[in-house]
Chain A
Amino acid sequence: MTSKLFRLPFSLRLTTWLVIGLWTVAALFPLLWMLVMSFKLPIDGFHPNPFVVMFGPQTLEVAGGLSIFNIALTAVVAYILLSVFAAREAWLERLGSTEEGTKPWVVVGFYLGFLLVAAFSLVFLVPWLSQLFNFLLGSIPVINTLVKPILGLTMQHYNAVWVDNAFYKYFINTLLVTLGVVSISLTLGTLAGYGLARTRTVWVFWILISVLILRALPASTIVAGYLSPFIEWGLYGKRIAVIIVLVAINQPFTVWMLRSFFMNIPAALDEAALVDGCNRLQAFWYVIMPIMWPGVITTGLFSFLLAYNDYLVSALLLDGETRTMVPAIMAYFNRETTTTDQLEAIAAAASITFPLFLLVLFFQKQIVSGLTQGAVKG
């Protein structure tokens, strides 16, 4: 299919590529740079020369790094993984499709298996093969440049963050809070969304309007109302407090999104179920939900993002042992910081961002459809 580009005059074509190029760089650069810095020693990480930061000569001398072989092998493995991922629809079909679409557990199994294979190959296979080839080729005069480290890389900051400073505690807290928020939000939201989608009274209109208004409220205003009761009832510092507040904040958006997904499913389906003798709940659970789960996943994604990325509520209601990851990283800055401390904070930030990167990679379609659902359909 010829792209519209060929019908554009040269000046517009140039502008288009310029815009896209500039934007891509602007979008990626801060995050990529953060990643690059996190693997270097302070001397290299904070150097004013960008090439020193990227190649990390001091780090190379002191702590070793990646060789051409390493990089090439990782690139090959990554390419294979990405190709499988790009062709995942074809794979899923081959593995287990029925007429109604692929069963949920096949999909989950595929993704989990994919993640395991990817993790195994990147964490074990590539380093092991590298060591093997390092040993085999290391002594041959010209070829050994392939296995000599050229890109400075050190894992010490990640080590310091996750092992020495026990960042995994905060990770577990974030996981617990996020899990709680997503499960409760989705349960309440699917029920409400279905009810609102299948009813035509004027109540629905008013509920939707109030939902929109509630979405506009700042989190701090709601937490201000919670703090005194929470402290009195001993809920301060408990993760359940954050879960309650986040579920409440998230409800309007979740209900709105799920309702629009339910509206897309023709009412004829559950009408047929009702005629066949089911009550509303049975029609909902046995007929609608199996078709609905892509929409549930999309909404769940946004609930997850809200809980995972939250700073204000967690910072006000949690501290010490129950803290979640995002407030914890800000705590790094409240201490006296050496450049090594700062790089550890950068490593922590990169670690926090990594799951989100995977999320966008795996769920890009769902995120886009979720965003456009409420908007384009009105």
Chain B
Amino acid sequence: MKTKPFLLFVGPSIFVMLVFIAGPLITVFVQSFRQTQNVYETAEQEKCDPFGCKTTTVTVPKLDENGRAIRETRWVGLENYRIIFDWSRATAAFSESGRGYWSLINIPFWNALRFTLMFTLVTLPLVLGIGLVLAFSVNAILQSLRGPVIFVTLLPMIVTPVIGALSIRWLFIGDGIITAQLERLTGQNIAMFAQGWTIELLLYSYRIWHTVPFAFIIFYAALQTIQSEQIEAARIDGATRWQTIRSVIIPHLTPLLVFVGLIHLMDTYRAFDELVGLNAAAFRVSLQGLTYSFLTPDEAGNRSIGRASASAVLTIIGIILLLIVPLRNTWREQTQG
């Protein structure tokens, strides 16, 4: 296609992506170095009590004509980042008075970082593994049964994440049916939402429940494309079932394992909806959840745009770092292959 028609076709999309994605990214980057705060002024207040009147000077927010506090935005450099990292508390955690890791976790950012990283990395092999096993299993059953099985499998992926998390929550919270049965079996009182690690388990379960369908579909479709002759040839050569899987099927699937892994990393690092659905905010927060909390207005209606932007920038850096290794391998393969 020549340049002019190319620009006509592709132009509008590129324009939208530049203005509405690249634009806000630049805005976020700039905003992360600024803070918007109330402007304060000193005023004299008169206080009268039975013993006489006294005048004192106090600092109060400046109000405009409508009686609302005036807010100004000023350049603060790395202040927002310092607030988020909370270096003094972080380093104090590892000094004599702190409790090391457990003190560090009390700082929201490090808590969110720890959770998001573990969430992403622990669920990854589980999703790939279960997806693979499921793909092999469905590949082995009757053709006519596969349609309904795939239908059922697609549902966890298509259902709204918030609602999927809610449905799992209703099974476990308070006297939810599964908690009730577990209590009956073990004879103990179980409160799944009273401590962090049980909520974290539920979060992992949700994410696996939600992502396995995607892995399954990709691997299953790939299994369909393996020529049966290759498998026959390997079997004729005397390979056992497992040797066939190891030397014929897995190499065929490896690029897809990487692909699904990549998508999983990208999507799980941004996890947020399931923490909302499982009401985990009291115990666990993800990096995106941290940004979200800065963006929600407080009682006065103010948002911490500066801190939200700094948190957003840190999240972006985190994703880039996370994706560099798998992407570099894929790049090498692409340019060499």
Task: Provide the residues of chain A in CB contact with B315, threshold 8 Å.
Answer: 218, 220-221
Judge whether B160 is part of the interface by a CB distance below 8 angstroms. Answer: yes
Asked if B121 is at the interface (CB within 8 A of a chain A CB), the reply is: no
Q: In the complex, are the beta carbons of A20 and B13 less than 8 A apart?
A: no
Chain B residues closer than 8 Å to A211, beta-carbon distance: 17
Q: Which residue of B lies closest to A184 (CB)?
A: B16
Chain A residues with Cβ below 8 Å from B137 are: 15-16, 19-20
Does chain A have a CB within 8 A of B31?
yes
CB-contact partner of A316 in B20, B27, B154, B292, under 8 A:
B292
Determine whether the beta carbon of A34 is less than 8 Å from that of B312.
Answer: no
Determine whether B214 belongs to the interface, using a CB cutoff of 8 Å to chain A. yes
Say whether B177 faces chain A, with CB atoms less than 8 Å apart. Answer: yes
Q: Which of B16, B24, B136, B153 contacts A188 (CB 8 A)?
A: B16
A222 sits at the interface (CB 8 A): yes
B12 at the interface (CB under 8 A from A): yes
B177 contact set on A, CB distance < 8 A: 33, 48, 50, 53
Count chain B CB atoms within 10 A of each CB in A201, A357, A361, A375 and give the residue with the most: A375
CB pair A37–B158 under 8 Å, yes or no, is: no
Residue contact B134 to A19, C-beta cutoff 8 Å: yes
A169, chain B: closest CB distance, angstroms:
18
Question: Inside 8 A of B292's CB, which chain A residues have their CB?
Answer: 220, 312, 316
Interface string of A349-378 (1 = CB under 8 A from B): 100110011011100100110011001101
Contact digits for B133-155, partner A, Cβ 8 Å, 1 yes 0 no: 11011111111000101111111
How many of chain A's residues have a CB under 8 angstroms from any CB in B?
97
Which of B3-11, B55-63, B90-98, B100-108 interfaces with chain A?
Answer: B3-11
Contacts of B209 in A (CB 8 A): 26-27, 30
Asked whether A195 and B167 contact (CB < 8 A) given A326-B160, A359-B158, the answer is: no
Could you list 29 examples of A-B contacts with CB < 8 Å? Answer: A13-B140, A16-B137, A16-B141, A24-B149, A24-B153, A27-B156, A33-B167, A48-B180, A48-B184, A194-B9, A195-B10, A198-B1, A201-B6, A207-B14, A218-B287, A220-B315, A224-B308, A224-B312, A225-B28, A251-B13, A252-B17, A280-B9, A311-B276, A316-B292, A330-B277, A346-B170, A352-B160, A360-B155, A375-B218
For the complex of A and B, 4 pairs with smallest distance between CB atoms: A225-B24, A195-B9, A48-B180, A192-B13
Residues of chain B touching chain A, judged by Cβ–Cβ distance below 8 Å, are 1, 5-6, 8-10, 12-14, 16-17, 20-21, 23-28, 31, 130, 133-134, 136-143, 147, 149-156, 158-164, 166-168, 170-171, 174-175, 177, 180-181, 183-184, 209, 212-214, 217-218, 221-222, 225, 241, 255-256, 259-260, 266, 269-270, 272-273, 276-277, 279, 287-288, 291-292, 294-296, 303, 305, 308-309, 312-313, 315-316, 319, 323
19 A-B pairs besides A23-B130, A31-B155 with CB distance below 8 A are A16-B137, A30-B171, A33-B171, A48-B180, A50-B181, A188-B12, A194-B9, A201-B6, A220-B312, A221-B25, A227-B303, A228-B27, A247-B20, A255-B13, A312-B273, A326-B163, A364-B150, A368-B217, A376-B221
